[in-house]
Amino acid sequence: GAVVSQHPSRVICKSGTSVKIECRSLDFQATTMFWYRQFPKQSLMLMATSNEGSKATYEQGVEKDKFLINHASLTLSTLTVTSAHPEDSSFYICSAKAGEGTDTQYFGPGTRLTVL
């Protein structure tokens, strides 16, 4: 159980374009989803916490106007990287919490973004 999917798994885009990444909980309803970024050989960095039907909470140093998060349903959260630049190239991973009574997070497979 507790399967989380992400799409796309890999994306290459030109500098200045926007990229949308989808995160779906397939077999449970996720009131809370999380977005992480991981650079090569570095640890996970939490970018934001996304709650269904409300605005995302961004971690310090993460630009909310650049990384737009929408959590419109209990099974879908999206991250849009706007006006992407080469320094945004990274591994973006979402996770979902399977309900309010648990704090266990299940991770999606991740999206590797390369900005040329």
Partner 1 sequence: QKEVEQNSGPLSVPEGAIASLNCTYSDRGSQSFFWYRQYSGKSPELIMFIYSNGDKEDGRFTAQLNKASQYVSLLIRDSQPSDSATYLCAVNSGYSTLTFGKGTMLLVSP
Instruction: Closer to partner 1 by CB, 19 or 30: give it.
Output: 30
Smallest gap from Cβ 49 to partner 1, in A, equals 6
Smallest gap from Cβ 93 to partner 1, in A, equals 5
Instruction: Closer to partner 1 by CB, 45 or 82: give it.
Output: 45
Binding site for partner 1 (CB under 8 A): 32, 34, 42-44, 46, 49, 91, 93, 97, 103-110
Instruction: Closer to partner 1 by CB, 17 or 29: give it.
Output: 29
**Residue 76 neighbours by CB under 8 Å, 6+ apart:** 22, 23, 24, 25
Candidates 38, 37, 19, 21; CA nearest to 79 is 21
Task: Sort 113 into a burial class: Cβ within 10 Å, 0-12 / 13-18 / 19+.
Answer: buried
Smallest gap from Cβ 83 to partner 1, in A, equals 26
Whether the upstream peptide bond of residue 8 has omega within 30° of 0, thus cis, is: yes
